[in-house]
Amino acid sequence: MIEMTRTERLFDAFATLADTLVAGYDVLDLLQSLVDYCHDLLDIDSAGILLANADGELEVVASTNEANTLVEIMQLDADAGPCLESFRTRAVVSVPDIDIRSDRWPDFTDVAAAQGIHSVYAIPLRLRQTTIGTLNLMREQRGELNRYDIRAAQALADVATIGILQERTIRDASTIRDQLQQALSSRIIIEQAKGVVAETGKLSMDVAFDRIRSHARAQQIPLSELARQLVAGEIRL
């Protein structure tokens, strides 16, 4: 098997996202694919997405591991942190060393450091005047993310954002809110399903989610539907 170069894998990521948008897609799976691509292709240790619900409040909708999710949730609870600042200002927020911002976001700094995270890069998911969330890249190493990875992350985020906002079936803002709210609601049942699979299989939450997602793709079942079946006890993995 010929191993693809990083550049080839980036091209493949963009092509896959584009194909998904053309053919029709599940918003949640699209966003999970986005963070997975970032994790696999960029010089980061984890990635996550905060998405605005119908009331304009951010919620965790995708992440590459539980540590990332914990840090994101902490920011939401404290209503402070680089990811929230990125969403509110509609600007990129770069924190190459979280200790430097410890006085500004003490709760965020404590939790991030406890999870081994020492630098963060937050990118708003935006199109013109509309901002729907943030893509958050976290690293165990201190230091600025290199400019090529920054450009790649921004481009991947832009593709996903444009796809969500410009999807052909969307006709007005209420439809956009409904679609995003559905993705957020689906995340709740998926978290419950992760717990079920983790408990029955004695697995970590990350491994449980990988198993659920792999099965959904293999059987061509939406993540939310498979999660519902798992929680209802209709199937077991």
The yes-or-no verdict on residue 156 having pLDDT over 70 is yes
- Return the CATH number at 79: 3.30.450.40
Extract the tokens encoding 37. 């691509």
User: Which of 28-32, 132-136, 167-171 tops mean pLDDT?
Assistant: 132-136
Dihedral Cα 206, 195, 214, 41, nearest 10 deg:
-20
The domain boundary residue, chosen from 142, 168, 194: 168
At 33, is the pLDDT very low, low, confident or very high (cuts 50, 70, 90)?
confident
pTM above 0.85, yes or no: no
- CA 104 – CA 7 distance, rounded (Å): 37
The domain boundary residue, chosen from 168, 192, 226: 168
Number of domains in the chain: 2
Helix (H, G, I), strand (E, B) or coil at 120: strand
Dihedral Cα 36, 37, 42, 43, nearest 10 deg:
10
State whether 46 and 118 are in the same domain. Answer: yes
Write out the residue range of the structural domain in which residue 29 sits. Answer: 6-168
At 168, is the pLDDT very low, low, confident or very high (cuts 50, 70, 90)?
very low
The domain boundary residue, chosen from 147, 168, 189: 168
Q: Region 200-220: what's the mean pLDDT?
A: 91
State whether 15 and 103 are in the same domain. Answer: yes
DSSP state string for 191-229: HHHHHHHHHHHT--HHHHHHHHHHHHHHHT--HHHHHHH
- Of 16-25, 40-49, 54-63, 98-107, the poorest mean pLDDT is in 16-25
